[in-house]
Amino acid sequence: MAMSVKRYLVTRVVVSIAMMLFAVFVTLLEGAARAGDRFEVSLPDEAAGNAVTGRLLVALTPHDDAAAEVGEPRNAISVTGATVFGMDVSAFKPGSSVWLDAKALKAGARGYPYDALTDIPPGQYDVQAVLIPYTEVTRSDGHTVWVPISDRRVMPMMMPGNPYSKPVTAKIGGKGTVKLALTETIAPLPEPKDTEWLKHVRIRSQILSDFWGTEMYLRANVLLPKGFDENERVRYPAVYPFGHGDVPFGFNPNPESHTERAIASRADANVETGYAFFQAWTSDDFPRVVAITLEHPSPYFVESYAVNSANNGPYGEAITRELIPYLEREFRLIAEPYARIVEGASTGGWEAMALQLYYPDFFGGAWVFNPDPIDFRRYQLVNIYEVENMFSLKVAERMWADRPFRRSREGQPLWTVRQLASFEAVLGSKGRSGYQLGIWQATHGPVGDDGYPVPLFDDRTGAIDKAVAAAYRAHGYDLTAYVRDNWETLSPKVAGKLVMIAGEMDDFYLNLSVYGFEDTVRELGGDDYPIRFEYGRPKKGHNWHHTTWEGVVREMADHIRANAPEGADATRWNYK
């Protein structure tokens, strides 16, 4: 009996070992099979006239009932959208192919949200490739770089002329190659058409062309006030809304283009529909000002951040010395500081504030809404001068928490800095993602030996480069530090010229740096120093405004009238 038990136990052990070995064998076999997954992307002869250097993206979305709603995978590329892989291509010749596979990933290609092809859950996917061509330029600083260039406000992966493939449905998780041919081309964007109210401007910038070593252009969208054509001798003040929108304040004469859903989605921000603003703008008692949005895309983002920077170039000079003077000549604008008002939210908020601070004798006021970080001790949730890691916070011994980048207005973290950095690394190497972290580095940071922006932090580990952080401050892009360092000269020039607005639950934690700026102003200038701060409570999030666009413009018009010098052109300005 004892011997039988012994044999039984030995048998069990042998069987268990055999099963374990079999499981390992199956796992290895599956891994080998899945290692064979790869994407072969071909560039047909007719798709490009010359060899292309740029960034190749391959996007995947599940082929399921939701596929029709998602549309083409390339249009679903976002932090919370498609699975995407990206790799640099150099001299990609028409008639040839490149492979995005495990070997390419090992050599530097990147994936999001999966690092490896073998991490993709097996299944049926719609797969599509898009190629972002770069232009080789030699800048005036002597660096030769490859970057995407456009004079339109459009992300690099959506630029007109980009070759892309038709989507194919493929099984992912088995052997074989998914073949994608770049047979299609993104169509040119139509040129905007002038209307009774809205005029469009495009000028060549000599300043930017000299810096970039190629032709560079700036655009503007000019919203004219009621009676502009009838009052040919009247000159007007200008308000400049900065941000990602093309049409000032969403102005739209078509009531059918605004759905109840759109109205409801913005109700908590106090921002009315474009048609409601049209009705106010064209009413008899509305202030007669000219509203102008500027289009100034950098090779690193859809917005240059409107200032001079080592990587983007002298956009601040181009805007203040070329574009605005041109607009003032063409549209009968009052060419005086009191009649130039800047406004912006988010990116535009930072731009508006920076322009007012950097050019205090050129602009007469700034309405700043939830600006991108203006105090780098509060770079969202990170003090970049003291914290060691951008991605995680040590909360206890052997316990780390990922830092969120975005939250809901009830405080629920939605995605992290780590995730965004990984996503941007797929879109482009060397800071060429055309996305948020990339443009912050291009705007705030120094130029590397290779001519590209030096990263603030490692996009795999999150480790912060303190020398780069110090350069951010030294070059004046920490606007709170800039005010502190220049308080003696700045304080009399910007007194009464800044209106700072933020929701207390900004989706991107941008209210925190506004708090820091207010603390600094109160410390240096006292509680009665004339800067207006207003915070939306409770649970007011990103792009919350204290009033409607109509109300904002009325405030700015009142400010212009109050600060116009006696006998100035404003005496001939038809306020109402």
What CATH number is associated with residue 329?
A: 3.40.50.1820
User: Confidence band (pLDDT; 50, 70, 90) for 396?
Assistant: confident
Q: Could you tell me if residue 20 is inside a domain? A: no
Q: CA separation (Å) from 573 to 134, 234, 564, 568, 576?
A: 47, 6, 11, 10, 9
pLDDT of amino acid 261: 47
Same domain as 484, residue 436? no
Q: Could you tell me if residue 343 is inside a domain? A: yes
Residues in the chain: 576
pLDDT of amino acid 270: 74
Same domain as 259, residue 339? yes
Q: Could you tell me if residue 104 is inside a domain? A: yes
User: Confidence band (pLDDT; 50, 70, 90) for 572?
Assistant: low
Tell me what percent of the residues of the chain surpass a pLDDT of 90: 82
Same domain as 387, residue 365? no
> Mean pLDDT, to the nearest integer, of 68-95?
93
- Tokens 């969403």 correspond to 250
User: Confidence band (pLDDT; 50, 70, 90) for 549?
Assistant: very high
Q: Could you tell me if residue 523 is inside a domain? A: yes
Same domain as 124, residue 245? no
Same domain as 395, residue 455? yes
User: Confidence band (pLDDT; 50, 70, 90) for 34?
Assistant: very low
Q: DSSP 3-state assignment of 261?
A: helix
Side-chain-facing half-sphere of 287: CA atoms under 13 Å = 22
Q: Could you tell me if residue 416 is inside a domain? A: yes
Q: Could you tell me if residue 132 is inside a domain? A: yes
Same domain as 460, residue 317? no
Same domain as 236, residue 106? no
Q: CA separation (Å) from 492 to 357, 483, 530?
A: 12, 12, 10
Tell me the residue type at 458.
D
User: Confidence band (pLDDT; 50, 70, 90) for 1?
Assistant: very low
pLDDT of amino acid 31: 39
Same domain as 153, residue 214? no
Number of structural domains in the chain: 3
φ, ψ of residue 232 to 5 degrees: the values are -70, -15
Same domain as 387, residue 331? no
Q: b or e along 48-85 (b: 16 or more beta carbons within 10 Å of the residue's beta carbon)?
A: beeebebbbbbbbbbbeeebeebebbbbbbebebbbbb
Please say which residue of 474, 489, 504 terminates a domain: 474
How buried is 104 (Cβ within 10 angstroms: 0-12 exposed, 13-18 middle, 19+ buried)? buried
Q: Could you tell me if residue 15 is inside a domain? A: no
pLDDT of amino acid 13: 42
Q: DSSP 3-state assignment of 506?
A: coil
What is the Cα–Cα distance from 540 to 557, expressed in whole angstroms? 26
Please say which residue of 136, 151, 185 terminates a domain: 185
pLDDT in tens, 46-65: 888 899 999 999 999 999 87
What is the Cα–Cα distance from 283 to 294, expressed in whole angstroms? 25
Same domain as 71, residue 47? yes
Same domain as 531, residue 455? no
> Mean pLDDT, to the nearest integer, of 80-99?
96
pLDDT of amino acid 173: 87
> Mean pLDDT, to the nearest integer, of 67-72?
78
Please say which residue of 447, 474, 501 terminates a domain: 474
Q: CA separation (Å) from 474 to 66, 439, 445, 478?
A: 50, 18, 10, 8
How far is the first Cα of the chain from the last one, in angstroms, to the nearest whole number? 108
Closest CA to 501 of 214, 270, 165: 270
Cα angle 505-402-74, degrees, rounded to a multiple of 5:
80
Q: Could you tell me if residue 8 is inside a domain? A: no
Q: CA separation (Å) from 527 to 169, 215, 522, 530?
A: 63, 48, 5, 8
φ, ψ of residue 93 to 5 degrees: the values are -85, 140
- Tokens 């790869």 correspond to 38
pLDDT in tens, 113-163: 999 999 999 999 999 999 999 999 999 999 999 999 999 999 999 999 999
Same domain as 178, residue 58? yes
Closest CA to 95 of 127, 162, 49, 159: 49
Between residues 313 and 262, which one has the greater pLDDT?
Answer: 313
pLDDT of amino acid 526: 97
What is the Cα–Cα distance from 487 to 472, expressed in whole angstroms? 18
Is residue 325 over pLDDT 50?
Answer: yes
253: domain range?
198-375+478-565
Is residue 279 over pLDDT 70?
Answer: yes
| Rounded CA Rg of the chain | 27
